[in-house]
Amino acid sequence: MGGTAEHAVVIGASIGGLCAARVLSDFYDRVTLCERDALPDRPANRPAVPQGRHVHLLMARGAQEFETHFPGLLDAMVADGVPILENRPDCIHFGAAGHVLGTAHRLQDEFTAYVPSRPQLEWQIRKRVSALDNVEIIHATVTQPRFDRASEQVTGVHLESGSVLDADLVVDATGRGTRLPAWLQQWGYERPREDVVFVGISYTSQRVRVPDGLLREKVIVAGASSTQPLGLGMLFYEDGIWNITTFGVGKAKPPQDYAQMCALADEILPPHVGAALRHGTPLDDVAHHKYPASRWRRYDKLDRLPAGILPFGDAVVSFNPTFGQGMSMTSLQAGHLRRALETPGADVVRETIRATAKTTFPVWTMNAIGDLTMHRATGPAPWWYQPVGALFDQFLGAAETDPVLAEWFLRRFSLLDSLYMVPSARLVARTIRHNMTLWLAQKRAGKRPVTFEAMRETR
Ligand SMILES: Cc1cc2nc3c(=O)[nH]c(=O)nc-3n(C[C@H](O)[C@H](O)[C@H](O)COP(=O)(O)OP(=O)(O)OC[C@H]3O[C@@H](n4cnc5c(N)ncnc54)[C@H](O)[C@@H]3O)c2cc1C
């Protein structure tokens, strides 16, 4: 684009809308964020973001990206008590698809992760966006964008109050419930194709105060697997309280109360976790949430789009929340928007949509393979998903006792080195060698579980 334009309107002031507004503020004279929720002046949950009551994991890459959009954010969060994932093996218990990784050795130095609660992160970002001179956040519900048929352009938004805001660009950051596909149809355009994976996830969460000293970890994750449709994630947040989220995939019913949550912890986590939870004090009510399907709206495949409207954040793609990627992928999208705005003559909407599709593809595909082959999800699955899923299961099995493979996986899972989860031929060979050695060691040990230390002795 280059230069400045007059007014941008962003619909929705959650993580997506705030990131978009931050970027637009450098290119537009004025930015108005319209949010239907009354926004709290402190870190707090709010009705229109019900997912905020459940565990939200900020990936290491997401933290880095947020810092580029909001310099000083990470230090400020740490000053407010947000835990850092220290470079220590006992800081994290990480189980993926039935394999436990991340406890065997120290991760490399640059792997620094932060553990803000969802309300904390949103509040920190909102504070910074509100402080920008040319940004205004207003408490208003948008009923629909204003579309000018003659110029095939969105020229503003209608508010529930009856007033209209003129705009050169409207960003739809209204989340998974976006009505943009219906509006497009109403204006005579095609709806975007939707790629959908029916994951059938139910969440049950509880905040718990656990007495000091019982848990050294700050992040405890046990994902679902092909044999166990229930999972559990626990994060220790800045308020000194654990948020515990249990979930079921493929329509499996998760625990419904705290006693059942503790029983699940006994089943799928090391014994000290369940024991610590039984000493804990549950706070508030148990929160429930259903997430039927991951959905990618393929605006990148549309030949025609009206000018002046950009879909953003979960309104474009909503990833399986148990993988903890949504906020980080939204922060990457903000980078795409910035680069498009910086490019002289670029079609900002088209370019942002194109770049977003490019970064979405590898993450979406890997999630779909995991969900459709291991997590009882349903949806279209190309023939090659099954063999790739089986190979990946082998890889994760080897990563349980091979720190090189474990680190490779954890860095990719954190979206750090690359968004593509494709091991090199060297790593595949290492996996095969490792699994053969493991198999031989198990045979010799008479099927006793083989530990990382035992593996070292075998080599
Ligand atoms: C259960 C669950 C768990 C998750 N866990 C994680 C995790 O661990 N890690 C992670 O990175 N991500 C996670 N996510 C995803 C993450 O919450 C989203 O990616 C992130 O919030 C970005 O979404 P968004 O801003 O695009 O939309 P949303 O957060 O859905 O926000 C949409 C906003 O638009 C506003 N709005 C809607 N319609 C209107 C209107 N007409 N007028 C005005 N305002 C409107 C709403 O009030 C809301 O504030 C999870 C999601 C779910 C559902």
- Distance in Å, CA 379 to ligand 1 centroid: 23
Q: How confident is the model at residue 456 (pLDDT cuts 50, 70, 90)?
A: very low
Tell which one of 45, 46, 49, 114 to mutate to probe ligand 1, the residue whose CB is within 8 A of the most ligand atoms.
49
- Distance in Å, CA 120 to ligand 1 centroid: 14
- Distance in Å, CA 16 to ligand 1 centroid: 7
Spatial CA neighbour of 49 closest among 59, 58, 40 = 40
pLDDT, position 107: 64
Tell which one of 15, 172, 246, 288 to mutate to probe ligand 1, the residue whose CB is within 8 A of the most ligand atoms.
15
Q: What is the pLDDT of residues 288-326, one digit of tens each?
A: 999 999 999 999 999 999 999 999 999 999 999 999 999
Q: What is the pLDDT of residues 140-180, one digit of tens each?
A: 999 999 999 999 999 999 999 999 999 999 999 999 999 99
Give the residue whose CA is nearest to atom 50 of ligand 1.
321
Q: What element of type H or E holds 113?
A: strand 113-114
Pocket of ligand 1 (CB under 6 A): 11-17, 34-37, 48-49, 51, 54-57, 141-142, 173-176, 203, 289, 291, 313-315, 321, 324-328, 330
> What is the spatial distance between Cα 454 and Cα 459, in angstroms, rounded to a whole number?
9
User: What number does the ligand 1 atom closest to the CA of 15 have?
Assistant: 25
Q: What is the pLDDT of residues 104-140, one digit of tens each?
A: 566 665 678 899 999 999 999 999 999 999 999 999 9
Give the residue whose CA is nearest to atom 4 of ligand 1.
321
Q: For 5-50+62-77+118-192+299-367, CATH number?
A: 3.50.50.60
Buried b / exposed e along 381-409 (16+ C-beta atoms within 10 A): beeebeebbeebbebbbbbbbbbebbbbb
By the 10 Å C-beta count (0-12 exposed, 13-18 middle, 19+ buried), 66 is classed as buried
Give the residue whose CA is nearest to atom 41 of ligand 1.
142
Domain boundaries, the chain: 5-50+62-77+118-192+299-367, 424-459
What's the average model confidence in pLDDT over 33-53?
96
User: What number does the ligand 1 atom closest to the CA of 328 have?
Assistant: 11
> What is the spatial distance between Cα 445 and Cα 305, in angstroms, rounded to a whole number?
64
pLDDT, position 86: 73
pLDDT above 70: percentage of residues in the chain = 94
Given a cut of 80, is residue 237 above it in pLDDT? yes
- Distance in Å, CA 50 to ligand 1 centroid: 8
> What is the spatial distance between Cα 184 and Cα 305, in angstroms, rounded to a whole number?
8
- Distance in Å, CA 175 to ligand 1 centroid: 5
Which residues make Cβ contacts (< 8 Å) with residue 313, sequence separation at least 6?
A: 12, 14, 15, 16, 17, 19, 20, 173, 175, 330, 333
pLDDT, position 457: 44
pLDDT, position 103: 52
pLDDT above 90: percentage of residues in the chain = 81
Given a cut of 70, is residue 279 above it in pLDDT? yes
> What is the spatial distance between Cα 14 and Cα 327, in angstroms, rounded to a whole number?
10
- Distance in Å, CA 45 to ligand 1 centroid: 12
Q: What is the pLDDT of residues 357-391, one digit of tens each?
A: 999 999 999 999 999 999 999 999 999 999 999 99
User: What number does the ligand 1 atom closest to the CA of 319 have?
Assistant: 15
Q: How confident is the model at residue 453 (pLDDT cuts 50, 70, 90)?
A: very low
Given a cut of 90, is residue 401 above it in pLDDT? no
Q: What is the pLDDT of residues 243-277, one digit of tens each?
A: 999 999 999 999 999 999 999 999 999 999 999 99
pLDDT, position 298: 98
Q: What is the pLDDT of residues 74-107, one digit of tens each?
A: 999 999 999 998 766 677 788 888 888 855 566 6
Contact 406, 399 (CB under 8 A): yes
Give the residue whose CA is nearest to atom 16 of ligand 1.
326
Give the residue whose CA is nearest to atom 51 of ligand 1.
321
Contact 156, 166 (CB under 8 A): yes
- Distance in Å, CA 2 to ligand 1 centroid: 30
- Distance in Å, CA 203 to ligand 1 centroid: 16
> What is the spatial distance between Cα 38 and Cα 326, in angstroms, rounded to a whole number?
23
